[in-house]
Amino acid sequence: GLGTTITFASSHWLLAWMGLEMNTLAIIPLMAQHHHPRAVEATTKYFLTQAAAAATLLFASVTNAWLTGQWEIQQITHPLPSTMITLALALKIGLAPLHAWLPEVLQGLDLTTGLILSTWQKLAPFALILQLQPSNSTLLIILGLTSALIGGWGGLNQTQLRKILAYSSIAHLGWMILVLQFSPSITLLTLLTYFIMTFSTFLVFKLNKSTNINTLAMSWTKAPALTALTPLILLSLGGLPPLTGFMPKWLIL
């Protein structure tokens, strides 16, 4: 919470970087708490990608300070640091084509930590992207389009629920980044609805103790009412009218 708050409140690149770094280091013990080889592997992958992204961000902001002589987040004018920072933040939240770590990492975690990774950990980088967006529109459109496409196609062949959720996350982020420069308020609305739907989905899976499609299909006997609601949540996450998840996509289109 502190890391995200620091990034939110900062106008200086070093403070923003520090908040992101705190965020990464704070979730590491949560990820590795199960002492399972899978969890340790996922934690290591996550740590390496986040450290690389943070290092790139720090390098880009130092370059910017060197070129322009100021550290303000709002006033990134030079195209080089601007592009580098955008790519670093895209790597941090897992936008395609920098997404490859996300399904692997999410698959190795338990559902609670996966929920934190899919929702809360996106907030701080997103706040920075939101403040940067006037400076590089073409790059954001490319990132958004590839994310929407890869997120849609990637989830097709999966049986593991956490990997499907990871690809769903990539696709939703693609939509958000796509509409960012036309209407930031719609982006925030999409982010909020995505959070609510992902929260519900993860909690359903957690109650059912289901991590793949087969256990989800057999959960009917354990919790009939919950299982009746599950398809509705999933269809909403997919963005089908007349469910809630359709609203942001409709507004974006």
pLDDT band per the 50, 70, 90 thresholds, residue 136: confident
Q: 58 with 140: CB under 8 angstroms?
A: no
Which residues contact residue 158 at a Cβ distance below 8 angstroms, ignoring those fewer than 6 apart? Answer: 164, 167
Q: What is the pTM of this model?
A: 0.95
Place of tokens 């989800």: 216
Query: Cα separation of 17 and 20, whole Å?
Result: 5
pLDDT band per the 50, 70, 90 thresholds, residue 135: confident
Domains: count for the chain: 1
Q: Which domain holds residue 91?
A: 1-252
Place of tokens 């979730």: 27
Query: Cα separation of 151 and 52, whole Å?
Result: 23
**Of 147, 198, 136, whose CA–CA distance to 170 is shortest?**
147
Which residues contact residue 19 at a Cβ distance below 8 angstroms, ignoring those fewer than 6 apart? Answer: 2, 3, 4, 5, 6, 7, 8, 10, 124
pLDDT band per the 50, 70, 90 thresholds, residue 217: confident
pLDDT at residue 133 tops 90: no
pLDDT at 58: 98
* Segment 23-79, tens digit of pLDDT: 999 999 999 999 999 999 999 999 999 999 999 999 999 999 999 999 999 988 899
